[in-house]
Chains A and B, each alone.
Chain A
Amino acid sequence: MKTKHRPTPFSLLATAALGFALLAIPFVGLAQRTPWSSFVQIATEETVIRSISLSMIIATSSACICLILGIPLGWILAKVEFRGLKIVRAVVLLPMVLPPVAGGTALLFALGRKGFIGEKLNSWFGITLPFTTAGAIIAATFVALPFFVLSIESSATELDSKLEEASLNLGASPIRTFFTVTLPMLRSSILAGIALSWARALGEFGATITFAGDNPEQTRTLPLQLFVALETNPERAMVIGMLMVVISLSVLVTLRGNWLVRR
């Protein structure tokens, strides 16, 4: 709820402005150095277009996987009591705290060509994940899933369990209750979780480059493209950076922050 007509203390206003400036100034710097005359030309280069579509595919697939795996996980963390709950929760949230490079390294030793699962995937099914889009999706999901789970868990904890009980009382089975009562009640946090995990997956860099490597055809998403360009062609890097700002900002403005901030 927004309060109008109430004077905001000046000290709060000033501190808030400082915080906003810290977040906004880097983009002003970027915009000011961006070679706008060649913006469209660079942004529509084939390699850049491929990176954009790769980024979209990876972020969207990753958000979908988060949706499927994250709802039951978040709900169980919130509602079910079992031994080791604290450890499970800590492991689930680990990728949020861990540097993505460390996460990528861990993924490499588990699912990489020599990893203890990756090796079997390769010898049994002929599947290798590094340097593929699938690998990039796994890396992005690894870092994005905790955001989704956290969003579900926090609102599932507050969920009025009387409504679920009422549903059971009215003859609905537990699974039916989950789909017809629990999920609709979690609607806004599911949407917030999708938006958060999509955004996190879109910006993913460290885990992707460590685990999925830099393959121009399959794994070179916008952040990787930006990293490569920064070493070879700073002008290109600025355009790609600006492009990411534009994409992300337009997504956030479309969502109007509605899904991200629960009111």
Chain B
Amino acid sequence: MTGIHLSGKTKLGAEEFEFSFETGTHKRIAIIGPNGSGKTTLLRLIAGHECLTSGSLQIGKAIYDEPVSECFVPPHLRDLVLQHQGGSVFPHLTVEDNVAFPYRAKGYSKRNARSLARETLEDFGLSKLKHKYPEQLSGGQTARVSLARSLTRRPKLLLLDEPTSALDVESVNQIHQILERLDTTLFVVSHDPVEVLKLSDYIIALERNEVIQFGVLESIIHQPTSPWLTKFFDLNLISGVATGLEFKSDCGELLQLPQHHSGNVQISFPSSAVSLHLSPPTGSPRNRWKSTITGLDRKDNLIRIKLSGSFDCYATITLASFQELEIALGNTIWASVKATELNVLPNTIPAKT
């Protein structure tokens, strides 16, 4: 059990932070929030690079940081790894020695540490890179080396600060595949809603240096408490079966996929990617379906429209388009979305019904 229970304050320079949440038995936690909302500070606090000024941090059954009892476990004695954005791979060590580093820290001889490191590199498909130095690696390779190194410590808790930012699609997929297989409790700071859906089942949402909402993924998606969260999770989720480039929703609607997939999957697309038409649309969008308008919600210049039909989804359009279409509750309308806007996820998240 590595549930985290944090309730406390900290101060960095002139900035004050107040964090309060618990993760219970959940093992896939995403930390989300706008830029500068305290996500990295929260990770650093858990890792012991910052300390609380009041309150307490509990991981599993042990207290790690509690100013009132003068308890503070230093970072190197915490059974967790914080992986900085960019990976922080040691530039003066080869890939092999980077990955052997945690073994060396544990007191293994150089030879044993290296041979264990080579096994890990083998698992990660990085064997060819073992004698290279970090400056010779691509961004994706660096990310994988960093992850391999973090995992050789066998941490109970892995804290990742934007592990896939600035990576190409192929590398992002490789990193996600590794993370999906992991048994370790995972804290991921992410800016990408699709990544959050893929990797987590529990959310801690921050805004202005405070936790504004935390809980299981579905509850946050369905009842976001702030405009930023609403926008972040403004996604349609549809489950069904993929065969090659074709997706058949549970209700029988056929959609085109951007890549080949097979088996039970979910597809997601932002509501802003849905276009509405009065007559069956022609043109490049391959995916279109007929729906009934069952809900309208106006926010400033945007209208969020609930569409019901063979599956439920949302479309967000501007007020001007809304007025032009002259639509009202109960009207029938055509919706379309480009196949390139679809993201395919493994079928783990209960879709909104």
Q: How many A-B contacts are there with CB distance less than 8 Å? A: 64
* Least distance between B255 CB and chain A CB atoms (Å): 43
Q: Are B84 and A171 in contact (CB under 8 A)?
A: no
* Least distance between A183 CB and chain B CB atoms (Å): 10
Which of B75, B90, B92, B106 interacts with A168 by CB under 8 Å? B75
Within 8 A of A (CB), among B76-105: 76, 80-84, 86, 88, 90-92, 101-102, 104-105
Within 8 A of B (CB), among A156-174: 160, 162-163, 165-174
Q: Which residue of the partner chain A has the closest CB to B154?
A: A171
Q: Are A187 and B92 in contact (CB under 8 A)?
A: yes
* Least distance between B218 CB and chain A CB atoms (Å): 32
**A-chain residues with CB within 8 Å of residue B81 when the two chains form the complex:** 169-170
Complex Cα distance, B94 from A184, in Å, reads: 13
B56 at the interface (CB under 8 A from A): no
What per-residue 1/0 map shows which CB atoms of A169-198 lie under 8 Å from chain B? Answer: 111111011001100110100000000000
**B-chain residues with CB within 8 Å of residue A171 when the two chains form the complex:** 76, 102, 105-106, 153
Complex Cα distance, B91 from A180, in Å, reads: 12
Which of A165, A170, A176, A177 interacts with B153 by CB under 8 Å? A170
Q: Are A185 and B105 in contact (CB under 8 A)?
A: no
State the majority secondary structure of interface residues on A.
Answer: helix
Within 8 A of B (CB), among A129-167: 160, 162-163, 165-167
Complex Cα distance, B81 from A165, in Å, reads: 10
Beyond A171-B76, A171-B153, is A166–B105 a contact (Cβ under 8 Å)?
no
Complex Cα distance, B80 from A160, in Å, reads: 21
Q: Are B105 and A170 in contact (CB under 8 A)?
A: yes
Within 8 A of A (CB), among B53-86: 74-76, 80-84, 86
Beyond A171-B102, A185-B92, A187-B92, is A166–B76 a contact (Cβ under 8 Å)?
no
Complex Cα distance, B48 from A160, in Å, reads: 18
B150 at the interface (CB under 8 A from A): yes
**A-chain residues with CB within 8 Å of residue B150 when the two chains form the complex:** 169-170
5 A–B contacts from the bound complex (CB under 8 Å): A163-B90, A165-B84, A166-B83, A169-B153, A172-B76
Complex Cα distance, B75 from A181, in Å, reads: 16
Q: Are A170 and B49 in contact (CB under 8 A)?
A: no
9 smallest beta-carbon distances between A and B, as pairs: A166-B88, A172-B105, A171-B105, A168-B75, A184-B92, A168-B76, A170-B102, A162-B88, A162-B84
Q: Are B49 and A165 in contact (CB under 8 A)?
A: yes
Complex Cα distance, B82 from A177, in Å, reads: 16
What per-residue 1/0 map shows which CB atoms of B90-125 lie under 8 Å from chain A? Answer: 111000000001101110000000000000000000
**A-chain residues with CB within 8 Å of residue B92 when the two chains form the complex:** 184-185, 187
State the majority secondary structure of interface residues on B.
Answer: mixed
Q: Which residue of the partner chain B has the closest CB to A161?
A: B49
Q: Are B76 and A169 in contact (CB under 8 A)?
A: yes
Known: A167-B101, A181-B90. 15 other contacts (CB 8 A): A162-B84, A162-B86, A165-B49, A166-B82, A166-B90, A168-B48, A168-B76, A169-B47, A169-B81, A170-B81, A171-B76, A171-B102, A173-B105, A177-B76, A184-B92
Q: Which residue of the partner chain A has the closest CB to B48?
A: A168
**A-chain residues with CB within 8 Å of residue B105 when the two chains form the complex:** 167, 170-173, 176
What per-residue 1/0 map shows which CB atoms of B147-177 lie under 8 Å from chain A? Answer: 0011001000000000000000000000000
Q: Are B101 and A170 in contact (CB under 8 A)?
A: yes
Complex Cα distance, B149 from A184, in Å, reads: 19
**A-chain residues with CB within 8 Å of residue B76 when the two chains form the complex:** 168-169, 171-174, 177
Residue among A171, A177, A181 with most chain B CB within 10 A: A171
**B-chain residues with CB within 8 Å of residue A160 when the two chains form the complex:** 88
Complex Cα distance, B91 from A254, in Å, reads: 27
* Least distance between A245 CB and chain B CB atoms (Å): 37
Complex Cα distance, B48 from A166, in Å, reads: 11
Complex Cα distance, B93 from A185, in Å, reads: 10
Q: Are B106 and A165 in contact (CB under 8 A)?
A: no
**A-chain residues with CB within 8 Å of residue B88 when the two chains form the complex:** 160, 162-163, 165-166
Which of A162, A169, A185 interacts with B75 by CB under 8 Å? A169
**A-chain residues with CB within 8 Å of residue B106 when the two chains form the complex:** 171
Complex Cα distance, B85 from A160, in Å, reads: 13
Complex Cα distance, B93 from A92, in Å, reads: 33
* Least distance between B85 CB and chain A CB atoms (Å): 9
Q: Which residue of the partner chain B has the closest CB to A163?
A: B88
* Least distance between A160 CB and chain B CB atoms (Å): 8
* Least distance between A163 CB and chain B CB atoms (Å): 6
Complex Cα distance, B105 from A180, in Å, reads: 10
What per-residue 1/0 map shows which CB atoms of B176-195 lie under 8 Å from chain A? Answer: 00000000000000000000
* Least distance between A124 CB and chain B CB atoms (Å): 41
What per-residue 1/0 map shows which CB atoms of A8-39 lie under 8 Å from chain B? Answer: 00000000000000000000000000000000
**A-chain residues with CB within 8 Å of residue B80 when the two chains form the complex:** 169
* Least distance between B106 CB and chain A CB atoms (Å): 6
* Least distance between A169 CB and chain B CB atoms (Å): 5
**A-chain residues with CB within 8 Å of residue B153 when the two chains form the complex:** 169-171
* Least distance between B107 CB and chain A CB atoms (Å): 10
Complex Cα distance, B75 from A162, in Å, reads: 13
Complex Cα distance, B84 from A157, in Å, reads: 20
Complex Cα distance, B48 from A201, in Å, reads: 43
**B-chain residues with CB within 8 Å of residue A173 when the two chains form the complex:** 76, 105
Within 8 A of B (CB), among A80-119: none
Q: Are B101 and A169 in contact (CB under 8 A)?
A: no
